Amino acid sequence: MIRVCPHCSGVDTEGLKKKLPNETIKSTCVGVCKSYKDKVYAAVDQEIIYADSNMEIQQKIVERLKNKDNE
């Protein structure tokens, strides 16, 4: 599951849904706004992933999910 804060995370959830149509993407508080206030971030299976841009965070999320499938 991917969790993104609709107010603070900076993630384009619609773009992410198009890129990952089979993943559950939940818009909810992630609870790390103060720690990552200058970053774009999401929680993927309870792990916080952050980046400098929306494009970069989407790439990191896709990579994390691919790595999870290979474990």
pLDDT at 59 over 80: yes
The pLDDT mean for the chain works out to 93
Q: Which percentage of the chain shows pLDDT scores above 90?
A: 86
Give residue limits of the domains in the chain.
2-70
User: What contacts 48, CB < 8 A, 6 or more positions away?
Assistant: 30, 32, 36, 41, 42
pTM value is 0.87
* pLDDT at 27 > cutoff 90: yes
Q: What is the mean pLDDT of residues 31-44?
A: 93
Residue 68 has pLDDT above 90, yes or no: no
Q: In angstroms, rounded to a whole number, what is the distance separating the alpha carbons of residues 29 and 31?
A: 6
Residue 42 falls in which region: left (phi positive, over 0), alpha (psi -120 to 50) or beta: beta
